[in-house]
Structure 1
Amino acid sequence: MIREGKIWVANTEKSEPVYLLPQMSNRHGLIAGATGTGKTITLKVLAESFSDMGVPVFLADVKGDIAGMINPGQDSADMQERIKRFGLDKAGFEYHGYPVTLWDIYGKNGIQARTTITEMGPLLLSRILGLNDNQSSILSIVFKIADESNLALIDTKDLKSMLNYVADNNKEFEADYGTLNKQSIGVIQRAVVALEMAGGDKFFGEPALDIRDFLTLGEQGRGMIHILDSQSLVNDGRLYSTFLLWLLSELFETMPEVGDLDKPKMVFFFDEAHLLFNDTPKPLLDKIEQVVKLIRSKGVGVFFVTQNPRDIPDGVLAQLGNKVQHALHAYTPAEQKAVKAAADSFRENPAFKTADVIEALGTGEAVVSFLQEDGTPSIVEKVAILPPQSQMGGIDDASRDKAIKFSILYSKYANGVDAESAYELLLRMGVEKEQAEALAKEEEEAAKAKAKEEAAAAKAAEREKEKEANRKKRAAKSVGTTVAGTVGRELGKKVGKQIGGKFGQTLGGNTGAQLFRGILNTLIK
């Protein structure tokens, strides 16, 4: 609840109100405690209060019991007793629902939440795929090649096509990027297929989620409460935590620098936060720590919700100024050590031993310390958390379907778009390459056939030339013989006549013909 411009979170044992200062909310926070100790109630009370202040909120619904915030709370004898005990009846407490937008990366229990492969980036995608350092390096190179080739990586089929392209042409890229092992590329491809089989492919596509759509207000100027249905998603811890980390990174990269504000621009609740840090490589841990440290200047507050503070790395835990610690059980030496570590993170209260109180807390009770106006943590107090004003528990399918389709963002994200990207471009490049190769082969065969025809034609022309030469030669011989014979006979006749007598005529004719033919043949030759 909002009281005197502050967030009324709980009451001490002396019925004194405990407040969270809105201007200190972007210094982040921790909500910790064993299962069933009241973490969800604390989360809802804070989310409701931020919404009442006009601050949008994002949170994950891991158990399916948060979506009920869309409806007013239900009165009961127990609630009436709590309202009087906290003095809420005099503070204007009333049941009411809140503006809620339901999201689901699988598109079943909320508006489809998508992003692209490119926007996810190789570092976060490597974590989803469970790649080792070498495989992650190769994936980063694939992203770089795609970027330099203007090949957009939108969905998983784009990524698989790009991996195949790099594998098929790895020799061309080795000079610039070193050895790109085909076996490692094959491991990445199989990891992508496994992600698709688990339903993760639905998360990658367009239209991609525009993080600025989270900065919306609902009725009466209340901040929109964006709830991600995570009942199925949390079963894949890497995908769940990496998606939330991507959202946080998008907020960091998208939001402008604003410095310290009277209230945050948005508050982000990271439930089951331990999943974020399980088996996380150091480069990613460094990135998380950097984002948490710097995002406060963007006016974004982040609250990590987990069972034990030791789930959070020290570098991140040191950034969490506002703390709500519910009960922790200590049955083993390790658990006792964890309780002591949790107690030591608070500013000591001389009235009690914090570690003892943490072990003895009941459901809905906690020890808290919030940052004061000067930025220092307050003395730890044992408190009882206020009840929420909205419905506790989930909603039925009809109410969920109505909430989804009546959202102002439903029409924007309901239908996926498969725009031209790496898959289509590489497919076209492959077809064009095959067509070019086929055309080149046809032209080569046509050139060979033409050359063969020209050679045959040249050979035929040469034979015809030889035939013509031989024909002319034979014709010349025939003409010579005929002319020589005729002229010789005529000459012989004339000589014979002159020689005299019939005998002389005959002898002269034949001898003259033979003599002239020989002379003519010699000349022709």
Structure 2
Amino acid sequence: MSDGIFIGGGGSAYAEPQTLLLKYANRHGLIAGATGTGKTVTLQILAESFSARGVPVFLSDVKGDLSGLGASGTADFKLHDAFMSRAEAIGFVDYAYRAFPVTFWDLFGEAGHPVRTTISEMGPLLLSRLLELSEAQEGILNIAFRVADEQSLPLLDLRDLQALLVWVGENRETLSLRYGNVSTASIGAIQRRLLVLEGQGGSQLFGEPALELSDMMLHDDQGFGRINILAADRLMGAPRLYATFLLWLLSELFETLPEVGDPDKPKLVFFFDEAHLLFEDAPKALVDKVEQVARLIRSKGVGVYFVTQNPADVPEDILGQLGNRVQHALRAFTAKDQRELRQAAENYRENPDFDTEDAIREVGVGEAVTSMLERKGVPGVVQRTLIRPPSSQLGPIAGPARAALVEASPVAGKYEAAVDRDSAFEMLTRRAEEAAAEAEKAEALERETESIAEREFQAGRRYSGTRVSRSTSTGKSGSGARGRSSRSDSIATTFAKSFARQLGTRSGQALVRGVLGGLFRGR
């Protein structure tokens, strides 16, 4: 159908063909099922179909299997005969092998183009989720962002945030009067979490050039939408980083794209694999934000499809917004499994020809229980469906072939070289250096004044031939001179002297990341 995507169906034991209408593809969807039941293949055939209809796609490749979208299936593949038999059984007359235009991305810059964002774009809410901060620690992070805005300190990478937190700690007394308590213990906890994040690869996520969303919404010369594949096999070693990055990307799409109303087809389709990672231990504020994005982003022309093992992994308020559903088999080995299976079956419009709960338990690999939105957005009757075979290669492509596709990408060379422009770290460093230079200058002037006084004292003693006290020469008592010296060394000057002596050393370079707030109050 020109206005829909063929999912599967047909055959003597199955219902009529199942079609996902493009007009309702931005009403979001769910692909669920136990491990090994065919979720990845379903994701692959949906990505192919959207691309062929001119809709760009973003998906994460958790197991490394989806790189095969960039290569054509072949007749010598061991499942070729099975694929052809299935295509014939479900009436898929247009089935043919072909490759699809792909763009590979990788947070670590190894298996695709680097993908970055800035600390400012990520924002305090998502950063707090990423760092697993307490409410008090999240409050301090919000203060840091507020200070950065007020003092025009760009927060681009982790060094910027670390330097700013040092500054906040040194100015905690003043900031506490304005924003509430700022404790060094909370700042220290945030700094430790940042070190952990840095070890997980966070330093590669934050920086410039930042990702331009338009580069994920490209088409090839034939009008096919490009399929953006995020290499997530290594990223899954840091699941919180994975989930937060995808949520940030979804939020950026929501905040950046214009309203398009109810388009004939989506502007972009976003697949969120391993969706349970998004909601595990998530605070209510974050779940509410996901719900808001899911509810409103469809008017921006974006369809969101959650891929997970069990529908129960998705909060009920969000699950209710997922109109297009492909449910692969669920296994019920425990009482809890049975309850979740029953709950999954209750989410479908009943079919009088079979029991939905039994069907979800019984469907085999490559089969599913499906329900697609029909005309006027009405949920379709649940059907048992044979999923169509993929046209692209099933399984990953070889390393050299992947490297060739990366090199031929329309964004090749745009993101590879990191840019370190002037930002909070550099600005605070310059302030520290200038303060240290001023402190050294003040100290030198003081030494010169004391030297002049000493010479005058010596000259007076030689002239009179009598004992002249140093207090007579200076007009002050000795204790008064010491008091004057003590008073003249302010806290800022004392720190700057120490700072200047250490500036050239390795430890001095670390001190450059923050100086006492007194140095900056008048700046």
- TM (normalized to structure 1)? 0.85
Could you tell me whether the CA contact under 8 Å between 1:272 and 1:306 is conserved in 2?
Answer: yes
Q: Which amino acid aligns with 1:373?
A: R
Match of 1:55 in 2: 55
* 1:270 counterpart letter in structure 2: F
Q: Counterparts of 2:225 and 2:2 in 1: how far apart (Å)?
A: 19
> Partner residue of 2:329?
327
User: Which region of structure 1 is more displaced relative to structure 2, 159-168 or 28-37?
Assistant: 159-168
For residue 38 of structure 1, what is the aligned residue in structure 2? Answer: 38
Partner of 2:491: none
Amino acid of the residue matched to residue 32 of structure 1?
A
Q: 1:53 offset after TM fit, Å?
A: 0.9
* Corresponding residue of 1:229: 231
Question: Aligned residue for 1:484?
Answer: none
* Letter matched to residue 25 of structure 2: S
Report the equivalent of 1:489: none
Please show how residues 82-481 of structure 1 align to structure 2 within 5 Å.
82-88=86-92, 91-451=93-453
SS in 1 for 2:317: helix
Equivalent-residue separation in structure 1 for 2:173 and 2:439 (angstroms): 20
Letter in 1 for 2:263: L
Q: CA deviation at 1:443?
A: 2.0
Give distance in 1, aligned partners of 2:261 and 2:461.
91
Equivalent position SS for 1:402? helix
CA contact (8 A) 2:29 2:323 kept: yes
Hey, what's the Cα distance between the residues in 1 that align with 2:229 and 2:366?
22
User: Matched residue of 1:408: which SS?
Assistant: coil
What is the number of residues matched between the two proteins? 460
Alignment counterpart, residue 77 of structure 1, candidates 58, 62, 81: 81
CA contact (8 A) 1:347 1:380 kept: yes
Q: Contact conserved, 1:99 with 1:219, CA < 8 A, in 2?
A: no
Distance 1:155 1:131 in 2: 19
Q: Determine the structure 1 residue equivalent to 2:28.
A: 28
- Does structure 2 conserve the Cα–Cα contact (< 8 Å) formed by 1:106 and 1:202? yes
* Contact 1:15–1:86 (Cα < 8 Å) also in 2: no
Matching residue's letter, 2:49: S
Given that 1:10 and 1:17 are in contact with CA atoms closer than 8 Å, whether structure 2 keeps it comes out as yes
Deviation at 1:94, TM superposition (A): 1.4
Other structure's SS at 1:378 match: coil
Q: 1:396: how far off?
A: 1.2
Q: Are 2:8 and 1:6 equivalent residues in the alignment?
A: no
State the one-letter code of the partner of 1:9.
I
What are the Cα deviations for residues 9-54 of structure 1, in whole angstroms up to 9, with x where unaligned?
1114446211111010111001100011111111111111110111
Q: CA deviation at 1:454?
A: 5.8
Task: Tell me the secondary structure at the aligned position of residue 410 of structure 1.
Answer: coil
> 1:444, CA displacement in angstroms?
2.7
SS in structure 2 of the partner of residue 222 of structure 1: coil
Which deviates more, 123-132 or 6-15?
6-15
Residue identity opposite 1:62 in structure 2 = V
Partner Cα separation in structure 2 for residue 79 and residue 322 of structure 1: 24
Indicate how the Cα distance of structure 1 residues 192 and 385 shifts in structure 2: closer, same or farther if over 3 A, else same.
same
Structure 2 Cα separation of the partners of residues 338 and 106 of structure 1: 37
The amino acid of 1:165's aligned partner reads W
Contact 1:330 1:359 survives alignment (8 Å): yes
CA RMSD of aligned residues (A): 1.7
Provide the rounded CA distance (Å) in 2 between the counterparts of 1:224 and 1:264: 13
Tell me the CA shift for residue 272 of structure 1: 0.3
Counterparts of 2:200 and 2:70 in 1: how far apart (Å)? 30
Separation in structure 2 between the aligned mates of residue 373 and residue 463 of structure 1, nearest angstrom: 114
Q: Give the secondary-structure state (helix, strand or coil) at the position aligned to 1:335.
A: helix
Deviation per residue, 1:286-305 (Å, 9 max, x gap): 11111111101101000000
Q: How far, CA to CA, are the matches of 1:442 and 1:365 in structure 2? A: 83
Q: Deviations over 1:309-334 (max 9, x none)?
A: 00000111111111111100011111
The Cα shift of 1:5 comes to 2.3
Q: Residues 122 and 139 of structure 1 are in contact (CA less than 8 Å); yes or no, is this contact kept in structure 2?
A: yes
Match of 2:6, SS state, is strand
Note the C-alpha offset of 1:421. Answer: 1.1
Q: Which amino acid aligns with 1:79?
A: F
Provide the rounded CA distance (Å) in 2 between the counterparts of 1:454 and 1:147.
Answer: 53
Supply the distance in 2 between the matched residues of 1:289 and 1:15 (Cα, whole angstroms): 33
Residue 262 of structure 1 aligns to a residue in which SS?
A: coil
- 3-state DSSP of counterpart to 1:202: helix
Corresponding letter in the other structure for 2:9: N
Gaps of 5+ in 1: 465-525
* Residues 63 and 232, structure 2, Cα contact 8 Å, conserved in 1: yes
